[in-house]
Amino acid sequence: MNLNEKTLERKDIYKGRVLNFHVDKIELINGKTSTRECVDHPGGVTVAVLTQENEMLFVRQFRYPYKEVILEAPAGKLEKGENPFEAAKREQREETGAVGENYVNLGKFYPSPGYTDEIIYLYTCRAKSFGEKDLDEDEFLEVQKIKIEKAVQMVMSGEIEDGKTQVLVLKTAQLLKDGKI
């Protein structure tokens, strides 16, 4: 069965600095029409940086939509035309000061495919060295190290609520268990 929907028309609603919104009129597979509200996003990256003691580097930062401080893996938005792997290395250095080695590509993650085209690219690496953070002028965060086993427990108990971080922690823990990192 062909499950693809056909776009009949697109109406741009808003163009912002990071996000764009549009509403599409579409044709369903049964020939009827419907609408789809979409958020266009440039995509992002996240990286699990592991110390030699199998501690993972996390960042705590205030996330305005939730009005709370969230524990997350280092992450960031892709710049136009930026290579995801290079963006991951840039974000980890900016947010944690860590320079990595032995990177593993963990694939990609669709955070909310019902309304956005955002793709988050996932990586893990070992920390080779540590330097100074290089945060954006509007970025404020704290770095925290957590043993990977504890991080898995935190995912399972709901202490880590961020979806991309949950996926990253569980994939990284499995690779460690399998001896692939």
Alpha-carbon gap, residue 143 to 91, rounded angstroms:
13
Alpha-carbon gap, residue 137 to 159, rounded angstroms:
28
Region of 176 please: left (phi>0), alpha (psi -120 to 50) or beta. alpha
- 9 catalytic residue (yes or no): no
Alpha-carbon gap, residue 49 to 94, rounded angstroms:
13
Q: Which of 53, 101, 132, 137 is catalytic?
A: 137
E strands, the chain, where?
Answer: 6-15, 20-27, 33-40, 44-50, 55-63, 68-72, 75-77, 98-109, 120-130, 142-147
Catalytic residues: 137
